[in-house]
Amino acid sequence: MSIENVYPIQFNRVKVTLLKCNNKLILVDTGMNIDDADIILHYAKHSLNMPLEKYGEVCIITHSHRDHIGGLKRLKEKCGFKIASHIDEAEKIALDTGFTVDLKLKDREFLPGCGGIQIIHVPGHTAGNVCLYIQNEALLILGDTLFADEEGNLSPPPEHYSVNPEMSKKELKRLWELDFDKIIVSHGKDTLTGAKKKFQLMMERIK
């Protein structure tokens, strides 16, 4: 099963997502390094027939960990897209990559494209960690807000990777009100039907 116009790209350690919206491409995260960036460029050109250099509109960074921003320099050398992140993550991204965040976003703010991409701020993993909610697809792109195992069972991110593990669990309540059935995670198996039920089971388990 797949989602129309939504293209996850799996690397060894992390996953990024390309969104095809109104003849433009939106990239969510950049992978860990130059090799990951080159795979993204190749995929957009040869699998989608939409070179990122021409069709890339914005790159949304879910948070500032290396495996999510490590490919940004390579991609910015090739592409003219804007960089977007939560306002609380923008300074760290700029310090680590040398590139200024063009769009400093706040909780519940919308980006155009794909029927509206809403930024959901879920701090704890990092101060400005976000996931993306695409309501017309009932889809959450979670970044590292949650991890999944090989069966798709969900869990909070590992505590040793989070600046505030308790907050990362507490703030998951922000996702309760969202009407989603599908999730894409950066680490683990995606769930393309029944995701809200898996989320409910996880929340009961971590009480």
For 123-168, how does the pLDDT look when each residue is reduced to its tens digit (9 = 90+)? Answer: 999 999 999 999 999 999 999 999 999 999 999 999 999 999 999 9
**Hey, what domains does the chain have and what are their CATH numbers?**
6-205 (3.60.15.10)
Nearest to 94 by CA among 106, 110, 76: 76
Q: Say if residue 197 is exposed, middle or buried (CB neighbours under 10 Å; 0-12, 13-18, 19+).
A: exposed
The confidence score (pLDDT) of residue 1 equals 56
> How does residue 121 score in pLDDT terms, banded at 50, 70 and 90?
very high
The confidence score (pLDDT) of residue 181 equals 98
The confidence score (pLDDT) of residue 22 equals 85
Nearest to 102 by CA among 114, 90, 110: 90
The mean pLDDT value for 45-57 works out to 98
- Note whether 129 and 144 are within 8 A (CB): yes
Q: What angle do CA 181, 188, 6 make, to 5 degrees?
A: 50
Mean pLDDT of the chain: 96
For 58-80, the pLDDT digits (tens) are 999 999 999 999 999 999 999 99
Whether 112 shows a pLDDT value over 90: the answer reads: no
Nearest to 15 by CA among 80, 67, 56: 67
Q: Which helix (H) or strand (E) holds 189?
A: none
Whether 18 shows a pLDDT value over 60: the answer reads: yes
Prediction pTM value: 0.96
